[in-house]
Amino acid sequence: MNADILFLNNKTMEELGVLDMQQAISDVEKAYVLNANGDVISPGKCVLRWGKTPEDENIYGRINAMPGYIGGEYDMAGIKWIGSGPMNYKKGLPRASVTVILNDPDTKLPVCIADGTAVSTMRTGASGGIAIKLLAKSNASVMTICGAGAQAPKQLEAALIARPSIRELYIYDIRPENARRFEETVNRTYPGIKTVVTDNIEEATRRSDIIDCVTLAAEPFIDGSWLKPGSLVMNMADFEVSYSCVERADKIVVDYWESVKHRMISTVALMWRDGLIKDSDIHAELGQILSGMKAKRENDDEVIYFNAVGAGILDIAVTTRCYRKAMATGKGVKLSFWE
């Protein structure tokens, strides 16, 4: 018996619609709901680290393995293998590179190898957009994005789908050239949005309805006393916001609580480690809110803290959509895996 495997490179993935944010949001929402309903297998991340301390990770990087199975209409197993080289920018290379392997859940044979770099940025942007849809004020108009790297445009794209009321954007980055480059992109793509590049993160936070942090920060740079009533602070990566942001929150929401604790790098995870919060202090996971098990934002005065750590099932969902379209349209390169 022969078995084939389909190879999808980055250009083919683009042709298959990987950059469609509306579709990515739909995939990620379905994955969250399937997780809440127990129709996934998600063992969590295995992290391959270089260096001896967590801070070394910001210099030497890491590679994460994120396996999983997602049921429902996807019914697909696979793994995301993502390398992160923080110093790659000095070589003119992207920080993140991703390979996704899909496996038939029946035979367990691999059926697809796909470039997952865009998949990863899109599903992370989609997660941010879903959080904003459920947790931001309905009339949110001012947003701050901290970290003007590859993820920033996707966070903004998804945010504008969730809250087209956004009219003003503060951009904060420790590298001013990154902030200015992102501002140029925003001005070109969304001319109706006022942009402000700032090094005064306190002022930006105090004015913002949504504060979205997508950085590599190992030390917090946002204080809870700066959060105005009704604000949503999004801790999308590492130790970006102070403990006081979580203490100030009326609701603490995460994507996958067990994965957040396993990763042990975000603010809310460190507080759990230090005994400052308990499992019962977590209001909800996104899937529980989408499924109607838990409440979303209930009024315009709530301060809400959100933390996302991600899971391989999100990448598997997006990649499966593209893979099935490739099979239907004849795209990609078919290779003989087993003869």
Number of C-beta neighbours around residue 274 at 10 A: 9
Choice among 30, 45, 80, 137 that is catalytic: 80
Q: HEC states along 73-107?
A: CCCEEEEEEEEECCCHHHHCCCCEEEEEEEECCCC
| Strand duo 3-8 + 333-338: pairing | antiparallel
In total, the chain counts a number of residues equal to 339
Q: Which of 287, 286, 326, 290 lies closest to 100 in space, CA to CA?
A: 326
Contact criterion met (CB below 8 Å) for 157 and 148 = no
DSSP summary character for residue 5: E
Q: Which of 187, 137, 183, 133 lies closest to 161 in space, CA to CA?
A: 133
CA–CA separation, 188 and 196 (whole Å): 14
What separation, in Å, do the N-terminal and C-terminal C-alpha atoms of the chain show?
Answer: 7
CA–CA separation, 34 and 68 (whole Å): 12
Has 251 been annotated as catalytic?
Answer: no
Catalytic residues: 80
